[in-house]
Each structure stands twice: as C-alpha cells, then as structure tokens.
Amino acid sequence: MNCRSSNARPTWSGLLLFAALSLGATACGDSEGETDTGVIVDTGVRRDAGGPVDTGIHPDATVPTDTGVRDTGTPDTGTTDTGIPIDSGADAGPTDTGTVTTDAGTDAGTDAGTDAGILDGSVTSSCSNNLAEAAEVCDGTDLRNTSCEDLGFGAGTLACATDCASFVTAGCAGAPVCPNGTAEGNEACDGTDLRNFTCVGLGFESGTLACAANCTLDTSGCVAPAGCGNGIIEADEVCDDGNLTVGDGCSGGCNIEPPYNCTGQPSNCVIGPDLGTLTIGGTLSTNGGPLADNDLYFYRLTVAEDLLIDGSLINAVTSTTGDMDLALLFNDGSGWQARFSSVTEGMGALGNEIFLSGLVPAGDYAVLIVNIEGMGIVPSYALTLTGVARVLPANWTCDPEFFADNFCDCGCGAADSDCPDANVASCQYCDACGGDPFEPNCTLWVQPTDTTQCLIADCGNGTIEGDEACDDGNLISGDGCSDLCEIETPATWTCNPNYFGGGDGCDCGCGVVDPDCANATTAACGFCTNAGSCNTGSGCPGNIDPANNAVCLAPACGDGTLDSGEQCDDGNTTPGDGCDGNCQLEAGDITVSATPALAIPDDDAIGVSTTLNVPATPACVLAGTRVPMDITHTWRGDLILDLTSPAGTTVRLHNRTGSSADDIVGTYGVDLTSAEPLAAFNGEDPAGDWTLLVSDNGGGDLGTVNGWGLTLNCQ
C-alpha cells in the first residue's frame, strides 16, 4: 500500500521517528530495522492516497493523542492548548534550562516554570491590529485558532473583546446536548459516535471502546499490552506511569504522548516547556540537555501567522557517529502530526548543526528533539527557531504548501527554493506535469534544464516522453506504435489486448511475441495459460514452442503435455507404467489412499508429514507412479511437496509454483505435473511406508492436506 496525505511530505530517513497515528488513519506496511522512539505521532504525508504512511516504528498505529475533551473555561493565554485536559501546573522538564529568548515583537523574558499562561519579562503588543501577540488572548479576527466548540459550546461564531483580553461568546450557541448520538463541541464521544477513536488508536493492544453516559471515552473494554500500567518500564515500553489513562502523557500502550516529556519509574510525565509565540521576523531560542542515547524531548510554541520557519539545532557532543533529529509537529485537533523533520546521520564533531525549514500556517506546534542512536550522551544543545516572511513566487501554480517544504517540486511555473538547480535530476516531485507521485521518473515529464516547465511530448521523435507508451520515430500507424504514440495490438494477438506490451510481464502462446518478452524463447515466458493462449498444458512452458513462444507445438502423445483427448501423458509411449501408448490411463496394480485432514503450519519450512503403507506384493517392481492430491491452500506458491518411497528415494512434486493461486487438486502423473520425474521410483519395490512432506514457506496463508493417495503399476 502506498500512502499519502494532503498536509505534509513523506520525509526521508528523518521520519523513521514516528508511528502513524491519526483519526481514521490506515497503517501502511511495516519497515524493518528502524529506530523506535516510542512517540505517538502521525507522520502525515504529502499527497492524499488513502491514508498516512506507517513508518513501521511502533505498533500503536492510527491513534491520535487527543482525547477530544477540552477545558470549557477561559483558555490559557500563554500556553498551547493540546486539546486534552493535561495541564500539569508546572513547566518542568529534565532537559530544559528554562531560558526562552525572542527578538522584537515576541516574548523576551524567562519561563518561570509556572503554567500561569504568561511568561515573565517585558512584552509589548498592539491591540486591535488583528494579530494576537504576547499575552493577548485574541486580537480582532485573530482568535488563535479557537472556536466556539473549543470553549465547550455546540456551535456559533466566536469574537474577540476590544481589549484583546478575552473572547466574546455571545455568538456561540448553547453547550452540546449529551447524549444525543452525535459528538459535538468538546464532547469526546456521544453514544456510538466515537469520533473514529478505537482502543488501538488510544494506545491499547486491542478491545472495544465505548462512550460513557457523560460523553467521555470509556476504555474499560480496552486491553493493554502485558505489563503496561504497572509503573515499571519493561519490554517495548517507552514509559509506564502506573495507569492506563489516555491523555496524561503516557498512553494506554505505554508510549509517550506529544507534547509530554516523561522521566523515571513510574513515569512522571510533564507537558513540554512553552517557547512562546513565533512571528515573522521573530526568533525563539532555548538551551537544553543532557539528552541520552535513544532519548527525546518536546517543546511547545505558537505560530502567530503563516510563515516560513527556519530551525537550527547545534549539538555539543564529541562523538563522530550517530544520528539526531529535529522535527516540527502540529496539532490539527485530531492529534499531533509530524509536519516535517530533518535527520542528520553521523553528526560528527562538536558543534554539528541540524537545519529545519518549511512553510507553516498559524497554529499550535511542538518541536521534538531526538538523540536517535550512536551519539552517546549529548551534554547540551542550542535550539533556535526563526520566523521568515512567506513569499510565494508570482508564477507558482502548484499547491502553496509544496513551496519550500524540503522537497524539490518541478513543473510548477516557478522555481522551488528546495531545488538546488534547474536540472531535472534534482526533481523529487513532478505530478504537476502528470508524473506518478510515488515513482515520478521526472525525466519523462519535466524540461531537462528548466524544471519550472513541463515537458511537452513530441510524438514521432524516437524518444518516449510524458504519457507516451511508445515512440518509434515516425507517425505511421499499423507498425506497432500509432501516430499518437500508443501501442497497437496486432490483429493476430489472441490474448487480452491489454496484455500486449502492457509492461505486465511476458505473455506466451498468444499468436505474436509480446513486446514485454526479453526474447522469443519460452525461457522468457511469465504467463502461459491466459485466456486466448494456445497452451493446453499446465503452467509454463506447457506445449508452447521453445524457440517461438508465440505459438504452440502440435500435440502428440508422449510429449509430456496433457493435450485434448489424452487422459495422461508421462513423456513416453511405454505401456504398463500407468499411462499406455495412446496416453490413456491404465488400471493400477496397487491403490492406497488416506484423508488425514492435516493442517499445514504457516511459514514453517519444517512442515508436516503423512504416511501411507503399501502392503507387500509378490514380484512387484514399480513401472509407474501416480499421486492423487487434495490440498486446500490460499497461496499455493508457498508450498513444497516431497514424496519419499520406502527405498528412500525422494521426488519433489511441487516446488513453490502457482504464485497466488489456490489449492492443489488433481493427480501427479495425470493432470498435475511433478516438479521432478516420478520415474525416479521405477524399479523399486513399493512395499512399505511412503511419506508425503508438505511445508509452507511464506507467511500469511493457511491450508490443509485433505487427502492423498498412490496408484502404482508393477512390471
């Protein structure tokens, strides 16, 4: 599954930090070998393709940290509202020095450590300029992203008082009705409306979430991971505060909830220090440390207006290896999402610097600093965040969010500041010109030396460009590539027209050699049994001509391929071996069978075995062996079947062929082709135990050996 979203870009190695967590999010395939920081955060992703990307870091996927319960009183005027009643009353944190400095127009004082909502120091602001600054609760139309619903009302229009010190709620409707079956305002839920929250989403391992009568989430039906909630950090836990409460900094799955910092056992979780409010031209900075290996620390800030944020993290470490990460997260009301991240691999010597840059709209944010691994203890660091005016080029035609977001966008009418040059090799995204956002191959879509412009395909120039499927250097139709540079299907092609040159693999026996085939031999064949193929055999190559994979050989008894009218074809015309000279079945001299109903262990190379005993038959020397088989399985390409005779000879009947097709039902030596010749048993005494070994060599699919047998012919 490929996953994208509309709010952010998929960052490269930097976002190995985060597990995907958001309302209704879909977890995508797990990546292996990445560092687990234990932080519950949604990576976001740039363009919408069905859900956020799962970086494979933590099993707690699709979970926001916001419980949906908000303070219904007057909002804290100086502290970022996380959307959860988690005010600890203290701004304490193990790595924060407590010093917060800003330049003109922002808080220039010192964080006193008390969550009073106003930072100490001299602060100036101008009320009625439509910009909420410093200690102003709001200013004109700038409501600091607060709504009537945030204040506990059901709906309505919020306004700001003329003194910028409070909200005017006269335009807000009454409080939401609980219960009425619809979650409104500050209700976490209402009846069956759980706002897409789930037990797993809240950090639990499994279970059923419910809504209490007072419209708060009821997690009593949720199941926590073993040991979580006992106050001891163990196994994969990153924190353990001795409870399973959601929204207190340590989740029901014992992972840190942004923007908290947790220390000790049991974990003491405190909301991260507030850096203040960032404006255009303003700077926020702080010093912190120490930060141990695999440790992390959160800060909070408010961005007052749309701007370009430039971040810098300077470390103080003597290690020459290891990785650190600086990430910016935002709270969209459904949990904390990673907006962008900048990882530095191999930090190097003392003073190495990490840079973070990107466009951000006004809102509440958190900064995450992570000592990923290999650095040892970072004794101290300096963090600086600067607000820069957002200047979008006049000719920019792409989504404004994509300008200066740490990814080079091409074909947008103007140069992206993220692009180091105007060469197409630098392009990371070109879907504005039609390129695939997941595998863009921008050389097909963008001008080679002017990446602001899309490449206009010139059909007939011999170069495949843009959406051309072919280009043979002319505009003549009927030669395989049309005058519109589309692949033409020959009239003699007998298979599905979409399979001809569709880049979907080499199709054989279809009357014409498929352009997808590397050559015309059967060695190139990928598909031999599609509807319309002349192949009457099973699988590849069947009776397809080895030298010309477009056609099939004339059917003949004894060629090893079961053709129309043949009951069997064992590759010879010798009678007495179970298949006579006319390719008709001969009665077996010995027939035994069993129905073990034996479950096949999933992804287990050892497998299971079942045995048939053949009684002693005087003067019987094997001349032919047939093996009826009845196995149900949802992916027969996982299976290996080995048959061993009493004499110790082993023949592989099935060797992981058939890909995703279901079941193995038929008779080896008749309508099923053995991977190795059954003639290997010829000349043996059949008396004794015959053993069938079945193993599943791939995960995710199950099956059963329902029954099998032996039909043996003696000389």
Of these ranges, 1-15, 339-353, 625-639, the one predicted with the greatest mean pLDDT is 625-639
274 pLDDT exceeds 70?
yes
pLDDT digits (tens, 9 = 90+) for 564-601: 777 787 778 888 777 888 888 777 778 899 999 999 99
pLDDT digits (tens, 9 = 90+) for 159-186: 998 888 888 888 887 777 888 888 877 7
Interval 62-71 mean pLDDT: 31
Q: How confident is the model at residue 108 (pLDDT cuts 50, 70, 90)?
A: very low
Say if residues 427 and 415 touch (Cβ distance below 8 Å): no
Distance CA 311, CA 378 (A): 19
Distance CA 370, CA 407 (A): 22
Phi first, then psi, for residue 374 (nearest 5°) are: 85, -5
- The pLDDT of residue 627: 95
Q: How confident is the model at residue 312 (pLDDT cuts 50, 70, 90)?
A: confident
Say if residues 527 and 511 touch (Cβ distance below 8 Å): no
- The pLDDT of residue 421: 93
More confident call, 54 vs 481: 481
pLDDT digits (tens, 9 = 90+) for 207-244: 899 999 988 888 889 988 888 999 999 888 889 999 98
Asked whether the CA dihedral 147, 150, 152, 154 is positive or negative, the reply is: positive
Say if residues 338 and 379 touch (Cβ distance below 8 Å): no
Distance CA 15, CA 13 (A): 6
658 pLDDT exceeds 50?
yes
More confident call, 709 vs 244: 709
Interval 350-377 mean pLDDT: 76
DSSP collapsed to 3 states, 283-337? EEEEEECCECCCEEEEEEEEECCCEEEEEEEEEECCCCCCEEEEEEEEECCCCEE
478 pLDDT exceeds 80?
no
- The pLDDT of residue 92: 32
- State both tokens at 503: 């880049």
356 pLDDT exceeds 80?
no
- State both tokens at 569: 């074809």
Average pLDDT across the chain, whole number: 76
- CA 485 to chain centroid, in Å, comes to 35
What Å distances lie between residue 285 and 35, 105, 230, 303, 313, CA to CA?
A: 28, 14, 37, 14, 10
- The pLDDT of residue 553: 84
| β-strand partners of 167 | 160
pLDDT digits (tens, 9 = 90+) for 409-458: 999 999 998 899 999 999 999 988 888 777 778 888 898 899 999 887 77
Among candidates 192, 171, 172, which has minimal Cα distance to 181?
Answer: 192
- State both tokens at 709: 């047998």
497 pLDDT exceeds 70?
yes
The label of the residue with tokens 């989504």 reads 399
More confident call, 590 vs 631: 631
